[in-house]
Structure 1
Amino acid sequence: MINPNTIFSYEFDPQYSKPVSYFSMEFAVDQALKIYSGGLGFLAGSHLRSAYELKQNLIGIGILWKYGYYDQERDGNARMKPSFIEKSYSFLKDTGIIFTVMVHNSPVHVKAWLLEPETFGSAPLFLLSTDLPENDDMSKSITNRLYDANEATRIAQSILLGTGGALLLEIIGRENTMYHMNEGHSLSLNFHLYSKLKNLDEVKKRVVFTTHTPETAGNESHSYAILNDMSFFCGLQIHEVYSLLGLSGDQLNYTLAALKFAGKANAVSKLHGEVSRDMWKGYEGICHITSITNAQNKKYWKDDVLEDAFVAHDDDLIINRKKELKRELFKLVADRTGKLFDENILTIVWARRFAGYKRADMLMYDWDRFIRLVSNTETPVQVIWAGKPYPEDYGAISLFNSIIDRVKALPNCTVLTGYELQLSALLKKGSDIWLNNPRMYREASGTSGMTAAMNGSINLSIPDGWIPEFAVDKVNSFIVEPAADQLSTEEKDRIEANRLLEYLEQHIIAMYYKDPINWVKIIRNGALDVSPAFESGRMVAEYYDIMYNRL
């Protein structure tokens, strides 16, 4: 048996000595470990890195995805093609731990692997796998793909993360821990704890919950019947679940149930906290929802030369280094797309998960106006898009491919595939403008703009998520005024697209080419303002202070 203390290569800081186990369906710790899809994983990776730097007694619990999320490639027409390629990681440690979890009333064998702290500079991370010869093909497939589209498989993945993670902690002697659910995927751990403790208040003393989805429909839910058939409730009958949580209806909403099990919960920005409290205010028996704004690990994301230049207020070095970083990005652009970009030209990047509400094509809302923008030879503009849709989100994939098709003939506009940690870093370091234009109140936090600011890319954003806590228009960012809340979605899209293009045409482009002193000042202000307020050292310290130590 593994001694839980031997998995740490450091002594804990006394203020962070309380044991915490952080459950997440995905972790973006390093490019080499492809077990993440997007923002949730980027956040979890930064959490583990900063926990390591602050010497916190925290471990991660996740899943070792055999095929990762998916590899984003291109088909013969240069459109997006999701590919599922088996991954292998020689740097993971075989713990020798194998145990069983009940799924669909049958035992499924689970193996635990360990990412040791010194490998990538992160808190220890246990990864669970069902890809074992002892399992049948269906059981093996549970850990094939992150966010599998099959409902039964998705539920089995949640059981593995929640119940399996809790069982692992008992095996290694770390059950005396605070259980932190990063999103509702690990909900089943609460039923496992209740089956042992027989007391909801005792579960509440041990569980905290972070919610990331600012709308009811976006939170995962499944029918009680299928959850019961899948052994999700750890021996409880459906009527007992109803009674325990004070719920009814045919569907169990993971977030609502987590809010009833947890002693404390948090949203991931101040604005998201307001939205979440309003969203769940009609339900009895839920815990208080505070807010701890997401953040990113600066040590991992920053460019050292730029960082020194920001601190020294060396504007010439900032300008020269940004051009060097743009050239590095543009080598990749040329290799991937055959288009030659110029480091002297204003470069706008839209890069994040592809989903309808994020409006990747808003810049193209008025196509003729967009063409005039990118065809102007006196004050030229280059635009890059990147991001991964869910592989079964055919609307988002269609949008991704339509942008590829529409910009194919434009020499200064392109779409890059393979949006993972490495490409994300290149885009942030090599862009001048980081464009963020979701529909208001739909982006819980949106952390990519934080790491963009750390690397001298100016946020051009709708004031959603974390942005209102950071941005001062024309001082450290550019802010697009949102349309009135009471308008229709179509009217909001039209107004905000117009305001975005107007801001670019009348202010941003002119400043880049005609007022470089103020341009660099905004870059520098953004880089200096974003840390430490939005550096994940602040965030993980707040979790101990606000969530773990106060329960």
Structure 2
Amino acid sequence: MIKMKNLPEQFAHPYSFAPKFKKSAVYFSMEFAIDQALKTYSGGLGFLAGSHMRSAYQLKQNLVGIGILWKFGYYDQVRNTDNSMAVQFREKMYSFLQDTGVRFQINIQNRAVWVATYFLPSTTFGTVPMFFLTTDTDGNDNWARSLSYHLYDADASIKVAQCMILGIGGTTFLDKIGYEPDVYHFNEAHALSGAFHLYKKFGKVAEVKKHLVFTTHTPEEAGNEKHDINMLENMNFFAGVPMNEVRKISGITDNVFNHSLVALRLSRKANAVSKLHGDVSRKMWGDYTGICEITHVTNAQNNLYWADEVLEKARKKGDVKTITSRKKELKEVLFKTVADQAGKLFKPEVLTIIWARRFAAYKRPDLLTRDRERFDRLMKNTKYPIQFIWAGKPYPFDGGAINNFNQLYYLSHLYPNMAVLTGHELNLSKLIKDGSDVWLNTPIVTREASGTSGMTAAMNGSLNFSTFDGWVCEFATEQNSFVVPDAPHSPDWERDMVDISNMLDMLENKILPTYYDRPEDWQKMVLQSMNDVNAFFDADRMAAEYYEKVY
């Protein structure tokens, strides 16, 4: 088959490539948050990937995205009759995706599985050309069809199979359409099986490394995916490469196959997703042999998609009066959703603090409520009134995270100024970024590789209130954010108590008095924050840096 330097005409980019972005690259990701109408994401990783695809389009880059078409998406977050959180899986249908007509089989668990491919044209949502793979297609039995049903399936073997669809399936698809890019970019190690397909194709590790780059998002070695190497071989994860060769090229001598470690060994270059995460990653992997260079490209979000047009125009003019009035309008829009979901009437003139992201233990969603006495006093303060909103999706099979979500909901019964919302997807995320005055971020320090929700909140005139972690370390100053001092890293209970005390102190003694007593100082901070976030944390900069530093 003759390899093409450009995509086949029917899938081609609708623009001539910018001179500095002509090198061809394909971006593999398990999730993409492109539009509310396309449910192929769970949280931050997808939001990031979606912004990347949009900025690459705006910059006229020679980039293509490959993901999986999840039949049931991540899940629909709804409520039971008692208002506790419920997980609903509902079939998703997309008439705007085009069947490419390209079908092929890959070997999963010694079974031939059909993979069909769908195309998202650039002009549909303003992204680079994108392809989505699915096994929910004719010729497959129920088991094979189910492999592309649920994003991050709870069954370990099915999740491995999903990674194979992305990796082996994605690289095979490119071969089928005769497209051989200069760069294969694996966003996280989910597509790693594709590296073994490339090894079979090129015949040499050096050739694989020449083409492969890797982005790691996990700041703890223990958090990286590991599986028994024999289980992976039985599933055909290694694309037919014999086990002795797998061990030789991966450097795995025991039976524990660490996906991120092998990705670092088979890539030409890797990147972390913030400056701090780069330092953590180089230290974390530094004792392992054979790994590639690890640089960093700090995450960012697409301003054109996320920033409110009125706020953005006012920011560019330095018009704080318009920013202030527009924020009240946007809060009123958000508060209609609060009234609809929670039956509570929030007031636009009241300081509104929002915590909204994936519910995970290290993000500590309930942190400020753990000192119940001080939290109660705060919520009932008539001099400095406050409103709190929580939103976010726990992993659908994580009972602890779901319980945490429900406990916050039950606590909200005590307060007319506290709400917990469901349905945290792109639309709701935009509403709450627009409508927040303060964006609360409470991760355990060094556990948040980057985080990006605070970026889009800042683009919309919300001030970050955070522990000193991830992207915040590169952004925050006393002029644009509220950041608490670093707490001792252990023991856990002491770290949490120090963070709770520091955050409540800052809220009571600095944030609330500034908002109510010194509105001009508040407005000055908001404008500074908006200018600072747009100076470096727009995804156009990130997409350009991938070409400059990684590709």
Same fold (TM over 0.5): yes
Q: Which residue of 2 is the match for residue 502 of structure 1?
A: 505
| Cα distance, 1:14 vs structure 2 | 1.8
The answer on whether the counterparts of 2:79 and 2:86 sit within 8 Å (CA) in structure 1 is yes
Counterpart-to-counterpart distance in 1, 2:383 and 2:7: 66
Which shifted more, 167-176 or 525-534?
167-176
Matches within 5 A, 1:335-484: 335-473=340-478, 475-484=479-488
Hey, what does 1:4 align to over in structure 2?
8
Aligned to 1:538: 541
1:482 partner letter? D
Deviation at 1:5, TM superposition (A): 4.5
Partner of 2:175: 170
Amino acid at match of 1:95: T
Instruction: Return the alpha-carbon distance in structure 2 between the equivalents of residues 511 and 215 of structure 1.
Output: 37
Contact 2:264 2:291 in 1 (8 A): yes
The correspondence for 2:154, drawn from 143, 146, 149, is: 149
For 2:328 and 2:280, the matched residues in 1 are separated by: 40
**Counterpart pick for 2:519 among 499, 516, 519:** 516
**TM-score normalized by the length of structure 1:** 0.98
Q: Kindly report the root-mean-square deviation, in angstroms, between the aligned alpha carbons of the 2 structures.
A: 1.1
Question: What does residue range 48-197 of structure 1 map to in structure 2 within 5 Å?
Answer: 48-197=53-202
The secondary structure found in structure 1 opposite 2:535 is coil
Letter of the structure 1 residue corresponding to residue 419 of structure 2: T
Q: Distance in 2 between matches of 1:450 and 1:190?
A: 33
Identify which range, 102-111 or 66-75, moves more after superposition. 102-111
2:513 and 2:253 mapped to 1: Cα distance?
A: 58
CA distance in 2, matches of 1:65, 1:545: 32
Name 2:224's counterpart in structure 1. 219
User: Partners in 1 of 2:361 and 2:182 — Cα distance?
Assistant: 39
Note the C-alpha offset of 1:238.
Answer: 2.6
Q: CA deviation at 1:240?
A: 2.3
Q: Is the contact between residue 28 and residue 34 of structure 1 (CA under 8 Å) also seen in structure 2?
A: yes
Contact 2:464/2:481 (8 A) holds in 1 = yes
The corresponding residue for 1:317 is 322
Pair 1:20 & 2:15 matched = no
Distance 1:3 1:434 in 2: 42
Q: Secondary structure at the match of 1:235?
A: coil
Determine the C-alpha separation between the residues in 1 that align with 2:266 and 2:304. Answer: 35
Displacement of 1:236: 2.0
1:484 is displaced (CA, Å) by 2.6
Shift of 1:3: 4.9
Q: Which AA in structure 2 matches 1:235?
A: G
Once residues 223 and 327 of structure 1 are traced to their aligned partners in structure 2, the CA distance between those partners, rounded to angstroms, is: 53
Give the Cα–Cα distance (whole angstroms) in 1 for the partners of residues 62 and 7 of structure 2: 14
C-alpha distance in 2 between matches for 1:169 and 1:193: 11
| Deviation, structure 1 residue 275 | 0.4
In structure 2, relative to structure 1, the CA distance for the partners of 1:264 and 1:212 (3 Å cut) is same
In 1: Cα distance, 2:86 partner to 2:297 partner: 37
CA–CA distance in structure 1, aligned partners of residues 248 and 191 of structure 2: 21
TM-score by length of 2: 0.98
- In structure 1, runs of 5+ residues without a counterpart are none
SS in 2 for 1:123: coil
- CA deviation vs aligned residue, 1:298-351 (integer Å, no higher than 9, x gap): 000000111111111212111110000000000000001101100010000000
Structure 1 position 234, deviation (Å): 1.1
Tell me the amino acid that sits aligned with residue 119 of structure 2. L
Where 2:114 maps in the other structure, the secondary structure is strand
1: CA distance, partners of 2:346 / 2:17 = 48
The Cα of 1:498 is off from its aligned counterpart by 0.3
Once the two structures are TM-superposed, the CA of residue 25 in structure 1 deviates from its matched residue by 0.2
Shift of 1:409: 2.4
The answer to whether residue 301 in structure 2 is matched with residue 289 in structure 1 is no
Equivalent-residue separation in structure 2 for 1:378 and 1:244 (angstroms): 66
Could you tell me which of 543, 546, 550 is aligned with 1:547? 550
* SS of residue matched to 1:531: helix
Residue 218 of structure 2 aligns to a residue in which SS? Answer: coil
Contact between 1:166 and 1:175, CA under 8 Å: does it hold in 2?
no
8 A contact 2:438–2:465 mirrored in 1: yes
Deviations 1:176-201 (A, max 9, x none): 33100000000000000111222111
> Could you give the per-residue CA deviations for residues 390-438 of structure 1, whole angstroms, max 9, x where no partner exists?
1111111111111111112210001001111111110011000000010
SS of the aligned residue for 2:227 comes to strand
Task: Work out whether residues 349 and 427 of structure 1, in 8 Å CA contact, stay in contact via their aligned partners in 2.
Answer: yes
Moved over 4 A (4+): none
Shift of 1:133: 2.1
Q: Does 1:35 align with 2:40?
A: yes
Secondary structure of the 2:536 match is: coil
Structure 2 gap ranges (5+) = none
**Which has the higher mean CA deviation after the structures are superposed, 437-446 or 307-316?**
307-316
Single out whichever of 232-241 and 521-530 deviates more from structure 2. 232-241
User: Partner of 2:184: helix, strand, or coil?
Assistant: strand
Structure 2 distance, partners of 1:302, 1:121, is: 16
How many residues are aligned here? 546
Separation in 1, partners of 2:174, 2:201: 14
Kindly provide the amino acid, as one letter, of the partner of residue 371 in structure 1.
Answer: D
Per-residue deviation, 1:250 = 1.8
Distance of 2:257 and 2:9 partners within structure 1: 37
> Is the CA contact (8 Å cut-off) linking 2:300 and 2:538 kept in structure 1?
yes
Q: Match of 2:62, as an amino acid?
A: N
In structure 2, C-alpha distance between the alignment counterparts of 1:176 and 1:407, rounded to whole Å: 52
Range 118-127 or range 305-314, more displaced = 305-314
The separation in 1 between residues aligned to 2:16 and 2:165, in whole angstroms, is: 30
